[in-house]
């Protein structure tokens, strides 16, 4: 799934939570089983489901957290550190996320980051902020070697009122997850 390799910025458009959880688990496992780090920036429900699948796959999350090979962050909490008046503040973003990514890249090999903060912004009708956040991730990737997988509910593909922002979102990514095709449902 990490076809973009280090510094790849992938996107998945999902229709069901279990589909998303399966793809993210596989993505994180690829890095973690190779001695790298998996980082999630997700909602509590998605984090819990991902962690359940990781444990089912044999990952000892307590040990991984202790060794720094798994980092789980709450998407809402992290966003609260850089969203100001419905805009993504670049300095706040760097302050909130650069230390996490830097620590992960210094400790280990491949770093796989899963984030759904952009989808939360999109759900709040803050599509421009989501586009800005995608750009901030790309800037961060120019400084640190990591791959990023973003997730959006597939229903964003069905709305024509945010077509320009959707095209910008798609353009911000280097690849789509293999199981996902944004043309589906358009």
- We report the CATH number of the domain holding residue 161 as 3.40.50.300
In a domain, 181, yes or no: no
Query: What's the domain count of the chain?
Result: 1
Over residues 147-185, the pLDDT tens digits come to 999 988 887 767 667 667 666 666 666 656 654 433 333
In a domain, 182, yes or no: no
Q: How confident is the model at residue 11 (pLDDT cuts 50, 70, 90)?
A: confident
Q: How confident is the model at residue 25 (pLDDT cuts 50, 70, 90)?
A: very high
Contacts of 13 (CB under 8 A, 6+ apart): 151, 152, 153, 154, 156, 157, 176, 180, 181, 182, 184
Q: Are strands 70-74 and 83-84 parallel, antiparallel or unpaired?
A: unpaired
In a domain, 2, yes or no: no
Average pLDDT of the chain, as a whole number: 85
Over residues 135-157, the pLDDT tens digits come to 999 999 889 999 999 988 887 76
In a domain, 3, yes or no: no
Q: Identify the domain containing residue 167 by its residue range.
A: 9-176
In a domain, 183, yes or no: no
pTM here is: 0.85
In a domain, 186, yes or no: no
Quick one: pLDDT at residue 174? 66
The 3 state secondary structure assigned to 128-182 is HHHHHHHHHHHHHHCCCCCEEEEEEEHHHHHCCCCHHHHHHHHHCCCEECCCCCC
């Amino acid at each position: 799934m990490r076809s973009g390799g280090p510094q790849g910025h992938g996107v998945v458009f999902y229709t069901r939570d279990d589909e998303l959880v399966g793809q993210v688990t596989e993505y994180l496992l690829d890095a973690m089983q190779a001695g790298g780090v998996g980082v999630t920036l997700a909602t509590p429900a998605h984090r819990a489901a991902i962690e359940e699948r990781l444990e089912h796959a044999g990952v000892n999350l307590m040990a991984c957290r202790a060794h720094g090979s798994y980092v789980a962050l709450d998407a809402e909490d992290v966003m609260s550190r850089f969203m100001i008046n419905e805009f993504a503040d670049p300095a706040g973003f760097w302050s909130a996320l650069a230390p996490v990514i830097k620590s992960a890249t210094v400790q280990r090999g491949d770093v796989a980051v899963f984030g759904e903060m952009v989808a939360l912004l999109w759900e709040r009708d803050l599509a421009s902020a989501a586009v800005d956040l995608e750009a901030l991730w790309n800037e961060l990737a120019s400084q640190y070697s990591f791959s990023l997988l973003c997730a959006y509910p597939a229903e964003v593909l069905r709305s024509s009122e945010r077509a320009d922002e959707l095209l910008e979102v798609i353009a911000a990514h280097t690849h789509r997850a293999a199981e996902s095709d944004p043309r589906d449902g358009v």
